[in-house]
């Protein structure tokens, strides 16, 4: 992960848009708390969407705390190093990064208490993504600290706020969406249809799972890549957002 470079202008532009949308709500929460625990395959939720939208990457075991005038990030040292350039960007939203140990450790307690104090200073209404329950050893540490003061807070679901904000696409996002749609259509037309015809003609017994794995692998094949390059300039940027699923009906 150390070779990853973030798009600082995009981060601050989008963070400001999210914060402006939140502040415009007449009955919005006093703070936004987004916690990402351990990563899991084939999982795509609003927390991951926020990370990819803001950073371009997932940062597991990371606490994002938005107050009305600052973003507070609590994460591990290697990730903090990657995030550091965001603090020095022009037109930046004020950003504070607090480092915690990779594994549960006593020194993490101070970092969590600092985040808790920021929550309390912001107000009792905390915006969270109600449909999600992050989990990891680090999240368990945070929950232990937070639970002692949980009665002082009320939770507000920010799922709709996140969805509405991310739904408005920038020009670059529209470009990427079109590229992804082109790739999906090409895989259907130039691979899946032919593969299904071949299976029928040869009376091959293939499970839905095996066929889905073939479609997944086709994206990396030279034949499909060659066809994609003729339609999508940045073909190397295309990857699966979620794995293919084949169902019988």
pLDDT value of residue 227? 84
> What is the pTM for the complete model shown?
0.84
Q: How far apart are CA 217 and CA 244, in angstroms?
A: 10
Q: How many CB atoms lie within 10 A of CB 109?
A: 14
pLDDT value of residue 27? 92
Q: Which of 41-45, 91-95, 213-217 has the lowest mean pLDDT?
A: 41-45
Residue 86: DSSP 8-state: G
For the chain, count helices (H), then strands (E): 10, 6
Checking if the pLDDT of 58 tops 80, the result is yes
Count the alpha carbons within 13 Å of 178 in the hemisphere toward its beta carbon: 11
Q: What is the mean pLDDT of residues 217-230?
A: 85
- pLDDT, tens digit, for every residue of 6-36? 999 999 999 999 999 999 998 999 999 999 9
Going across the sheet that includes 31-36, the strands are 95-100, 70-76, 62-67, 31-36, 125-128, 154-157
- In the chain, what's the furthest Cα-to-Cα distance? 68
Residue pair 15/71 in contact (Cβ under 8 Å)? The answer is yes
- pLDDT, tens digit, for every residue of 173-214? 998 889 899 999 989 988 999 999 999 999 999 999 999 999
Hunting for tokens 């299976």 — which residue is that? Answer: 199
Q: Which of 70-74, 117-121, 219-223 has the lowest mean pLDDT?
A: 219-223
Question: Which residue has better confidence, 105 or 204?
Answer: 204
With both helix axes pointing from N to C terminus, report the angle between 8-23 and 159-167 in degrees, rounded to the nearest 10: 130
């Amino acid at each position: 992960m150390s070779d990853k470079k973030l798009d600082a202008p995009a981060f601050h532009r989008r963070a400001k848009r999210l914060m402006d949308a939140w502040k415009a709500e007449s009955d919005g929460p006093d703070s936004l708390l987004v916690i990402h625990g351990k990563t899991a395959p084939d999982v795509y939720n609003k927390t991951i969407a926020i990370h990819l939208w803001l950073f371009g990457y997932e940062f597991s075991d990371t606490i994002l705390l938005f107050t009305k005038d600052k973003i507070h990030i609590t994460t591990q040292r290697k990730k903090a190093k990657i995030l550091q350039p965001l603090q020095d960007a022009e037109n930046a939203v004020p950003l504070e990064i607090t480092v915690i140990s990779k594994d549960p450790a006593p020194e993490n307690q101070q970092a969590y208490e600092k985040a808790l104090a920021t929550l309390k200073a912001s107000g009792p209404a905390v915006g969270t993504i109600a449909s999600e329950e992050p989990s990891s050893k680090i999240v368990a540490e945070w929950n232990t600290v937070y639970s002692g003061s949980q009665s002082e807070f009320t939770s507000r679901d920010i799922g709709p706020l996140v969805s509405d904000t991310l739904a408005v696409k920038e020009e670059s996002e529209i470009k990427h969406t079109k590229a992804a749609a082109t790739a999906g259509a090409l895989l259907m037309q130039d691979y899946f249809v032919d593969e299904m015809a071949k299976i029928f003609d040869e009376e091959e017994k293939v499970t839905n799972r095996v066929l889905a794995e073939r479609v997944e692998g086709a994206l990396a094949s030279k034949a499909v890549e060659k066809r994609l390059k003729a339609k999508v300039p940045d073909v190397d940027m295309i990857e699966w957002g979620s794995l293919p699923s084949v169902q019988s009906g």
